[in-house]
Amino acid sequence: MSDGPRRRNSSKDAAEQKESGGGVALKKEIGLVSACGIIVGNIIGSGIFVSPKGVMENASSVGVSLLVWIITGVITAIGALCYAELGVTIPKSGGDYSYVKDIFGGLAGFLRLWIAVLVIYPTNQAVIALTFSNYVLQPIFPTCFAPESGLRLLAAVCLLLLTWVNCSSVRWATRVQDIFTAGKLLALALIIIMGIVQICKGEFYWLEPANAFEPFQEYDVGLIALAFLQGSFAYGGWNFLNYVTEELVDPYVNLPRAIFISIPLVTFVYVFANIAYVTAMSPQELLASNAVAVTFGEKLLGVMAWIMPISVALSTFGGVNGSLFTSSRLFFAGAREGHLPSLLAMIHVTRCTPIPALLFTCLSTLLMLCTSDMYTLINYVGFINYLFYGVTVAGQIVLRIKHPDMHRPIKISLIWPVIYLLFWAFLLIFSLYSEPVVCGIGLAIMLTGVPVYFLGVYWDNKPRCFDAFVDKMTYLGQRFCMVVYPEMGKSSDAEGEEMKEVMSPLSKEDGENHKSADC
């Protein structure tokens, strides 16, 4: 089955690209600090400030909830280890989409891309932007809710501003990410320091073993499994750096190094922030609060309590930037492989940013802001998103079996993907058992991509009028955005050749599959 690029009139496109100066490429401008900023900034969103109670209410006690945060952090680190090996073995932007496509074929990769394009990233970005606008407007409407139209308008302004930044320069986008990630870490450091001060004052009743494991409701295996599921969602975003592998400076070194730094840091912050919360609030108070960090600040900061709402706003602003940056690269990678319109695979002739992919990401998110079913859609596809994490890690084992001699700059023991898959299977089976309807609807949404794949990607001999229309729209888009196809591997010839050599076994097999399918 074909899963490679399907560009029409390739010779004509190549000629036009050459004439228009198509020797541009994605710039390698993401260093180690910015790489850590992308991971930390995407994992730590508004959740740890606003509502860490999802784990607490299902864990049934403070002690078990802290254990859930620690264990989930360890499992996330194991998953990140697996992605680190895949990221340097298949060093292509696009993350798990690229890995699933190369290992399992075009249809599997397209379904991962389809659900991301259709629901996951537009809805997540819209929700984060709405959270940002809610906390910015909170001081203006202290005694009531901000008007819905005002929230959506400010969220749209946030999205448009950050899209402009990302279109203008990769360096600007990473600097914004670095600054706002540092800001949210400073805010969380303040929370942790205040927690330490509380402990020094003797305010650690809920941390004493006898009290920490005293349940405020009966322990239930199903609820504890749900707590792990909530914790796994809180760590979501740990794989986002793999979406921008081709823009990393020295990806063979910085990709794994950034993962090894960022995941333990986030786990530390999550665990100790939750410890800090229970030094000032009982579990009942924490569960009753709609914004835990704000309540915490009101209890301990006095006149400086305004710091917490501002921290949430800054955190979510950085979260929107990180999500725009990484998701646009996913769509760029999908278009380059022929799974999305080819215009999305082009970059600006001087700025070297994927402007069409960024505009597409922004537009789809703005459309989500106009709907009232965002949160429902997130519930439906959250299961599918987690499903593909396991499929990708399983692909690591498949790749070891199919290509044992493939060059792997990082090679971890297979015990780690097996541990991750056991934990993943436990959560997946529980999700299916507890919410079969929601999971079923999520699967149905994903499967709508099957006919789209066969009609849009697999079917080569489309009517000439359709091809002519697509080519015309692509040409107009190129003129409007001043973009061309990037030249692969231009920025670093030696590294580019090494990448080609690393990926050649898969590419060769894909070509053979394409040939047999066409026959």
| Sequence-distant contacts of 136-142: CB under 8 A, at least 24 apart | 136/313, 138/309, 139/306, 139/309
The SS3 call for residue 390 is helix
Going by pLDDT thresholds of 50, 70 and 90, the confidence category of residue 397 is very high
Residue 413: is its pLDDT beyond 80? yes
If one compares 303 and 411, the residue with the highest pLDDT of the two is 411
Q: What angle do CA 56, 60, 63 make, to 5 degrees?
A: 75
Residue 2 has a pLDDT of 41
CA 231 to chain centre: 15
Position 90, amino acid: I
Task: Report, as an integer, the average pLDDT of 184-210.
Answer: 90
Q: What is the mean pLDDT of the chain?
A: 82
The burial class, CB within 10 Å (0-12 / 13-18 / 19+), for 479 is exposed
pTM value? 0.81
- The predicted-structure confidence for 119-146, as pLDDT tens digits, reads as follows 888 888 888 888 888 888 877 877 777 8
Residue 395: is its pLDDT beyond 90? yes
Going by pLDDT thresholds of 50, 70 and 90, the confidence category of residue 219 is confident
Asked if residue 232 lies in contact with residue 72, where contact means CB atoms within 8 angstroms, the answer is yes
Residue 281: is its pLDDT beyond 50? yes
Residue 41 has a pLDDT of 86
Percent of the chain with pLDDT over 90: 25
Residue 25 has a pLDDT of 67
CA distances from residue 86 to 10, 96, 330, 484 in whole angstroms, order as listed: 30, 9, 16, 29
Asked if residue 244 lies in contact with residue 329, where contact means CB atoms within 8 angstroms, the answer is yes
Q: Per the structure block, which two tokens stand in for 210?
A: 């006898």
Position 52, amino acid: P
Q: Per the structure block, which two tokens stand in for 136?
A: 């910015």
Residue 518: is its pLDDT beyond 70? no
The SS3 call for residue 99 is helix
Going by pLDDT thresholds of 50, 70 and 90, the confidence category of residue 512 is very low
Task: Report, as an integer, the average pLDDT of 472-501.
Answer: 68
Residue 206: is its pLDDT beyond 50? yes
Q: How far apart (Å, rounded) are the C-alpha atoms in residues 294 and 308?
A: 5
Residue 297: is its pLDDT beyond 90? no
Q: How far apart (Å, rounded) are the C-alpha atoms in residues 395 and 236?
A: 20
- The predicted-structure confidence for 464-482, as pLDDT tens digits, reads as follows 888 899 889 989 988 898 8
- Neighbouring residues of 9: CB distance < 8 A, sequence distance ≥ 6: 471
Q: How many other CB atoms are there within 10 angstroms of residue 315's CB atom? A: 29
Q: How many other CB atoms are there within 10 angstroms of residue 268's CB atom? A: 14
- The predicted-structure confidence for 346-369, as pLDDT tens digits, reads as follows 888 888 889 999 999 999 999 888
Asked if residue 108 lies in contact with residue 100, where contact means CB atoms within 8 angstroms, the answer is yes
- Neighbouring residues of 4: CB distance < 8 A, sequence distance ≥ 6: 106, 337, 338, 510, 511, 514
Residue 5: is its pLDDT beyond 80? no
In the block, tokens 């986008």 appear at: 173
Q: How far apart (Å, rounded) are the C-alpha atoms in residues 101 and 124?
A: 23
Residue 506 has a pLDDT of 52
Q: Per the structure block, which two tokens stand in for 18?
A: 């050459």
- Which residues, in sequence order, are bridge partners of residue 348? 483
Q: Identify the weakest region by mean pLDDT among 25-29, 409-413, 501-505.
A: 501-505
Residue 488 has a pLDDT of 60
Report the greatest alpha carbon distance in the chain: 77
Percent of the chain with pLDDT over 70: 87
Q: How far apart (Å, rounded) are the C-alpha atoms in residues 252 and 274?
A: 34
Q: How far apart (Å, rounded) are the C-alpha atoms in residues 166 and 94?
A: 17
Asked if residue 25 lies in contact with residue 350, where contact means CB atoms within 8 angstroms, the answer is no
CA distances from residue 207 to 192, 339, 425 in whole angstroms, order as listed: 14, 52, 32
Q: How far apart (Å, rounded) are the C-alpha atoms in residues 97 and 120?
A: 13
Task: Report, as an integer, the average pLDDT of 144-173.
Answer: 90
The burial class, CB within 10 Å (0-12 / 13-18 / 19+), for 392 is buried
Residues in the chain: 519
Asked if residue 324 lies in contact with residue 38, where contact means CB atoms within 8 angstroms, the answer is no
Asked if residue 392 lies in contact with residue 243, where contact means CB atoms within 8 angstroms, the answer is no
